[in-house]
Each structure stands twice: as structure tokens, then as C-alpha cells.
Structure 1
Amino acid sequence: MFYGAVVWDPWLIVAQIVCLQCLYYITLGLLLSILVGTRVSRMSLVYFFDYVAITTSTVTGWCVIASFMLSSVTG
């Protein structure tokens, strides 16, 4: 799957990069909805992209950290 008849296939490389990014963000979304979604009243994209949500001072922050760590292991 990684190498076909032609070794240099830029479209295959780009497709693999896109697939890995999609897998990462889908996994992160599922983990955030499981771990953080049960603790907050409303989910938003803040937990995905804002560094302020990653904090060790609250339990929700620890859940965000755990979501990022588990999704990176999955990737």
C-alpha cells in the first residue's frame, strides 16, 4: 500500500498525509466528546485549537490533556 509500481507518487503521499490528519482529528473529537463532553455543558472548538484549554489546574484541563495524549498514541 505504501509503495506501488511507481515509487515516487506525490498524490499517494498527499492522500496518506490527509488520511492521517483525518484519523487524528476524528480520534481527538471522539475522545474529547467522551472525556470532556461529560464535564462541560457545551462543547466547542476551543478544546481543539486553543492552548488555554490545556491546563493542569482543572479536571477538565486534565481530560483535554488525556484526550490529546491518547489520540497521539492512536496516530
Structure 2
Amino acid sequence: MAYTNKPKPDDRSDNVEKLQCMIHNTIENMEAAEESLEFTDSEEQRQQIKAKNERRRDSLDSLRSEVKDEARGEQNQ
């Protein structure tokens, strides 16, 4: 039986746009989590929210770096 499936070509034309959307969504999630801190009495939940937002900040740094790399790649083409 012959293998007839071919991989899709690597289309990176909209990567910057997708990454910027991910950054926007992450920031919105962080803001919503910060607002939820006002409504929780659980110290454990507060710590979990703060830890998650710290991970989100790290992700934002990585995403922003990736946007710069992608934008440089687009300029070089």
C-alpha cells in the first residue's frame, strides 16, 4: 500500500498576527484573573492565581520574542 498523504506546506504568512492575538488573549486572561482575586477568600486560590499569572508573564516574554523573530524573518524574504 503506497503512502499518498503529503504534509501541508509550511505557511508562516500569518504567524505574527496569530502570535499577537495570543498575546492579547493572554493579557485579557491575566486581567480577569487579577479581578477575580478581589472575590476570593481562599489564600490557596490567591496563590494559584498569582502563580498562573507569573507563568503567563513568562509566556508573554516568549511570545513577544517570537513576534520579533517572525517579523525579522518576513523582512528578510
TM (norm. structure 1) is: 0.41
TM (norm. structure 2) is: 0.40
Task: For CA contacts below 8 A with separation 6 or more, give which structure has more relative contact order.
Answer: 2
* Structure with greater helix percent: 2
